[in-house]
Every structure is written in structure tokens, then in C-alpha cells.
Structure 1
Amino acid sequence: MSVPSALEFHWQSLARLPSGRVYHSLAEVGGQMYMLGGCDAAGRPSPALELYSPEGDQWLSLPPMPTPRAGAAVAVLGKQILVVGGVGEDQRPLKVVEVYNTEEGRWRKRCALREALMGVAVTVKDGRALAVGGMGSDLLPRSILQQYDLRKNVWALLPPMPTPRYDATAHLLGNKIYVAGGRQCKRTLKVFEVFDSETRSWSTLPNMPCKRSYGGVFWDSSGRLCLLGGLRKGGGHQSSKFTKNVNIFDTNQGLWLKSEDTVAMKTKRADFASSFLRGRMVVAGGLGHQPSVLDTVEAFHPQKRKWERLAPMAMARCSASSIVIRDRLLVVGGVNQVPSSAHEILYVKEECL
């Protein structure tokens, strides 16, 4: 399958956020992007809920969340946005759960988590949200797997993960939930486990090739887990180092591709935006060995088997939130010395915005 050339990708700056924001959450409902919470320049969690209107290229303020929070996990259940955990105004994990109905335009408090958690990973299966792991108020990781039924407004416990952790990546593929990486206190993990919803059991998969944090993590259209860049944990007393390595797990073969079957990125970087867009792995911005944050962008060409430079972002930043909607990558907020209000979209020139 042919993919767009590097010259066909184009950045466009869109309406800036009402204020600089970082650690906010993005959700898509009906092709529209919602932005929830996050931290302002003073580090305060925000209750803000905003909708981006592409027709008028503007942000619309909607009823705020009842609970200010940053770093929340979000799941879209039909026309409703479920908001789980995160960090509250006292800088501690939250147990309160809230739902925003996009048709009614109002919030409702729902059945709370069994305990306050941050760093929860969430995915959706058969209209139910599945929340994996998290860190409790005691700063210890959890192995909990819980399922939320919106209609009944109840959380049900499922068999726990073998490895407690928070800030992991969870992805649903068929009847299986893959959970990769994460952290235990300050220690990064390379554990990779999968939950089979039919047998209701966990299995351990081959470990990730290396411990890394702040890397790019996504699944491609072939159901392969892609890990890119990040900070690679040094051995012994060695400090962590930026890496440009790429690791890919093939779920069909049940193994990680050999290093000779992958191609490293051009630039070592961490804390960047990443996605699988129009058949190409794309990375944008982040931090590297340079003295300032990055604006550089690159994409992998599968036929040429090489990374190519794309046009840079207009605003260099790291810690940005990103989402792909209708084959377009939106990069929202982030940090460039202070929280950024930048909002840009990467698309292919042949398309009409």
C-alpha cells in the first residue's frame, strides 16, 4: 500500500487554547475534539471542558467538570465521556468518577472508584470501560482491573494483573487487553501482559526489549505495538539517556521484531507526540540533547524503510497531548518553558480541511 510522501504532509496552526495547558486529556465524540482538565502555569488542576469547533476555528467553553483534575483517564461510551482518576487540587489521586453527556450538555457524578487512583490506563470493550492499574494515595502501584457499566452505574472487579503498576499503556485487540510497560514508584518496567476477556485470565508476554519512559507508544493498523524513543534507563549508577530506538511487537507471531528488522529514528527524543497516520509512524517535538525543546518532525516510510523529515511544527514543545481524528493528527498544548496554548494539525495536502 502506497503512503503519502514527506512533501505531502502539512502543518496548520489552529485557534490557540484559551490558556496554556499541560497534562490535559483529549477525547473524540462524533468527530469532534473535547479537551478536559489539565494544569495551568501555576500547576493548578483545572475543571475546564472545551470543545474545538473546526467550522469557526474556535474553542467553545462548556460546563466545567465538577472536580478539577489533571492527568485523568478518559473513555468515550457512546455520546458520553467518562472521566476517571487523575490528580486533584491537593495534588493527590482522585477516586471521584464523572460523566459528561455531550447531547445533554451536563455532568453527572457516577459510582466512584474503590480507592483514589492516578495513572490509570483505560480502554473500552462492548460499551464498558476497563480501568487498569494506577497509583494509590500511598504512592504504591496497584494491580487492579475493574470494569464500569454505565447503564448500571457499577464497577466490577476482574482478575488483577500479575504486575502492579501505573502509567501503563492499555489497548484492546479483539477479546484481549494488552498492557505494556508502566512504572512502580520511580522504577520503569518492561513487563508486557495480556488479559483474555473470554477466559478471564492473564498471560505474560515477552518483556519489552528495554526499560524506557516518556517514549511514543501506539498500535499500528496491523495490530502491532510500536515503542519509539524515550528515556532509556541506564544500568547501575548510569543516568537515563535519550534514545532513538524503535521496538515493534507482532501480536500474530507473539514476539518482538529483531533489531535488524526495525529502523531507528533520526533524532533521539522523549516526551513527544506520536501516532500512526496514513500508514506512517509519525513523531513530533519533545526533548532531546539539544538545549531547547524540539520542533522537528519525522515519519517512517515503510516501503523505503527509512525515516524522513517532515515540515517542523510552528511551536516547539514537549508534553503535548495529541489525538488522531479523521486521519489528521492534532497536537494540543504542552510545554515550552511554560504551558503552551499552541494547537496545530498535521494533515496531507490533498485533503481539504
Structure 2
Amino acid sequence: MAVPSAHEFHWQSLARLSSGRVYHTLSEVGGQMYMLGGCDTAGRPCPGLEFYSPEGDRWISLPPMPTPRAGAAVAVLGKQILVVGGVGEDQTPLKEVEMYNTEEGKWRKRNSLREALMGVSITVKDGRALAVGGMGADLLPRSILQQYDLRKDMWALLPSMPTPRYDANINLIGNKLYVAGGRQCKRPVKAFEVYDAEGRSWTTLPTIPCKRSYGGVVWDTAGRLCLLGGLRQGGGHQSSKFTKNVNIFDTNQGAWLKSEETVALKTKRADFAAAFLRDRMVVAGGLGHEPSALDTVEAFHPGRKKWERLAPMTFPRCSASSIVIRDRLLVVGGVNQCSFVPCHTL
């Protein structure tokens, strides 16, 4: 299949949210998008659950979560949405776990985590949720790996990660759970590890070449981890700097590509939307060296080995949530010069 040209991508403005939102979580069930929680314009975690209806181009309010929260980890188990941890109204981590049945339109409380956690990373394997790491109420990172069984409504502990962290980037390829980066006490970590679900063991992989935070993370269809842009952390007393650096790890080779084999972004940026869309890596918006949020968009053409400009976003933004559904990148909410911005699709 031919890689689409830059001219084939365009933005479409969708229905505005009922209110501004950041740190919300997007989820897909049956090709439909749901938005859970987040912080409102006053910075308070909210219990909202909303469904986007493409037919009417509108947001539909659904029964709210029992527990208001922002930055929750979300996993889809069949037709049900499992919501784990996050930050509560008192700005501390949560241990509450709740599940929404999209067919019944009802919430149910589930067995809580062993301790309150925020910054949990979650995925699904064989119908069970795997929750990785997190930060506890003491603000320290955790190395915990736990598995949720829906039928038993039970959390089981699996072998812990070698490196404690929260906000890690995870991806499941076959029986291998890759865990890259994350943070410890607000500082980014370079640790990269993989869990073998069959052997129930962890292996340490070559560390991330540079420390960065608020970068883009894309896993392509070839099983490669691509780390894009972000704030690069200097050594000693050096301040963080925006970067256009790109690092790529090939899981088949078990190594990071050499710098001459990668192509840097056109624009230095952090806190942007990133996705693998129609065989191309795409980055949109974020913060850079401009005084306000960026509206610029670029996509990597693998044949030409270059980043190309795409049509800019109608609403510049950073701190937005994004998700790919049916070959469309949906970018929801976010901030632009302290104002909240609506929904957008590419």
C-alpha cells in the first residue's frame, strides 16, 4: 500500500466539549470514543464520562464516574471500561477502581488497588488488565506489576520491575510487555525493560539514549519504539531544552538505531500529540520556542526519509489527549495560552 502524501491529510473541527478539559483519558470501545475524567478550568478533577457521536457530531453526557479523577489509567475489557487510580479531588493518588458497562450504561465499583497510585500505565493481555508502576501517596515511584482478572474481580501481583517509575510508556507485542522511560520524583528515567509473560521474568534492555520528558511516543507496525522530541534534560545545573531529537528502538534487533539512521523533527517541541497514522508517524501541536502553543503538524515519510509539513491545526494546543480510531487521529481538549480548546480530527 502506498504511503499517503502530505496533501491527503486534512483537519476537521468537531463538536466542542461542554467545558474545557486537561488530563482526561480517551478510550475506544467498538470504534467509538469515550472521554473520562480530567481537570476542569479551575483545575479540579471531575467525574465526567462523555461519548462522542459522529452521526450527530455531538458529545453525549453519560452517567458520571463514582469517583472524580484526573490522569486515570483506562483499559477496555470487552464492552467494559476499567478505570484505575489517578488523582482525586484532594490532589492525592487514588486506589479506587471502577468499571463502566457500555451496554448497560452503568458503573460498578471493583476491588481497589493495594495502595493509592497515580501515573499507572495499563494494557490488556488475554482479557486481563496489566497495570505497571505508578506513584504512591508518598510521591515515590513504584516497581509494581499487577494483573486484574475481571471474572474473579481480583488483583494479582506479578514479578516487579527492576526500575521503579510512573508515567512509563508501555507496549505489548505477543508475550512481551515493553516498558520504556517514565519518571522518578518528576525526573525522567532512561530505563528500558521487557517482561516475558510466559517466563514471568524481566530483562533489562539498552537504556534510552537521552533523558527526555513530555516527548512523543509512537510504536509502529514493525514493532519499533520511536521517541520523538520533548524536553531534553541537561546534566548538572543545565536547564531543560526543547529538542527535535528522534530515537528508535528495533525490537527485532534488540538495539537502538544509530543517530545517522534517524531523522530529526523539523520543529523542536514538547507536550504534543503523536501517533502512527496510515503508515506515517505524525506529530501535532505542543510547546516550542514560540510564546504560545504550536499549531504546526508534521509527518515522517518512510520512503523519502524526511519529515513533511502537514496542514496546521485550527486550534493551537498542548496538553491535549489523543487517540487513533478508524484511521483518524482525534485530538481532544488541551490548553493554549491558559485557554482550553475543543476537539479536532486528522
- Report if TM-score (shorter chain) is over 0.5: yes
State the secondary structure of the residue aligned to 2:11: strand
State the secondary structure of the residue aligned to 2:324: strand
CA distance in 1, matches of 2:185, 2:130: 23
State the secondary structure of the residue aligned to 1:227: strand
Identify the residue that residue 94 of structure 2 maps to in structure 1: 94
State the secondary structure of the residue aligned to 1:286: coil
CA distance in 1, matches of 2:339, 2:327: 26
Shift of 1:339: 4.9
- Residue pairs, 1:148-297, within 5 angstroms: 148-297=148-297
Please say if residues 22 and 339 of structure 1, whose CA atoms lie closer than 8 Å, have aligned partners that are also in contact.
Answer: no
State the secondary structure of the residue aligned to 1:218: strand
Range with greater deviation from structure 2 (242-251 or 335-344): 335-344
CA distance in 2, matches of 1:308, 1:164: 37
CA distance in 1, matches of 2:188, 2:157: 26
Shift of 1:338: 2.9
> What do residues 193-250 of structure 1 show as CA deviations (whole Å, max 9, x unaligned)?
0000000000000001100000001200111101000000001110010000111100
Shift of 1:187: 1.7
Letter in 2 for 1:313: M
Letter in 1 for 2:277: L
> What do residues 305-338 of structure 1 show as CA deviations (whole Å, max 9, x unaligned)?
1000000000000010000000100000011123
> What do residues 10-66 of structure 1 show as CA deviations (whole Å, max 9, x unaligned)?
100000111000000000000000000000111000100000000000000000000
CA distance in 1, matches of 2:14, 2:245: 32
State the secondary structure of the residue aligned to 1:294: coil
Identify the residue that residue 68 of structure 1 maps to in structure 2: 68
Identify the residue that residue 22 of structure 1 maps to in structure 2: 22
CA distance in 1, matches of 2:319, 2:176: 29
Shift of 1:186: 2.3
TM-score by length of 2: 0.99
Letter in 2 for 1:245: N
Identify the residue that residue 125 of structure 2 maps to in structure 1: 125
Shift of 1:2: 1.9
CA distance in 2, matches of 1:186, 1:273: 21
Identify the residue that residue 139 of structure 2 maps to in structure 1: 139
Shift of 1:342: 1.0
Identify the residue that residue 309 of structure 2 maps to in structure 1: 309
State the secondary structure of the residue aligned to 1:221: coil
CA distance in 2, matches of 1:52, 1:67: 21
CA distance in 2, matches of 1:280, 1:340: 28
Identify the residue that residue 46 of structure 1 maps to in structure 2: 46
Identify the residue that residue 350 of structure 1 maps to in structure 2: none
- Tell me the percent identity: 82
Shift of 1:170: 1.2
Higher relative contact order (CA 8 A, sep 6+): 1
CA distance in 1, matches of 2:102, 2:337: 34
State the secondary structure of the residue aligned to 1:245: strand
Letter in 2 for 1:256: W
CA distance in 2, matches of 1:218, 1:263: 15
CA distance in 1, matches of 2:18, 2:209: 41
Change beyond 3 A, Cα 1:182–1:93: same
Q: How many residues align?
A: 346
Letter in 2 for 1:266: K
Letter in 2 for 1:211: K
Change beyond 3 A, Cα 1:137–1:71: same
Where does the alignment leave 5 or more consecutive residues of structure 2 unmatched?
none
Identify the residue that residue 326 of structure 2 maps to in structure 1: 326
Where does the alignment leave 5 or more consecutive residues of structure 1 unmatched?
347-353
CA distance in 2, matches of 1:32, 1:337: 30
CA distance in 1, matches of 2:299, 2:341: 25
CA distance in 2, matches of 1:342, 1:227: 26
Please say if residues 244 and 269 of structure 2, whose CA atoms lie closer than 8 Å, have aligned partners that are also in contact.
Answer: yes
CA distance in 2, matches of 1:302, 1:218: 14
State the secondary structure of the residue aligned to 1:10: coil
Please say if residues 218 and 281 of structure 2, whose CA atoms lie closer than 8 Å, have aligned partners that are also in contact.
Answer: no
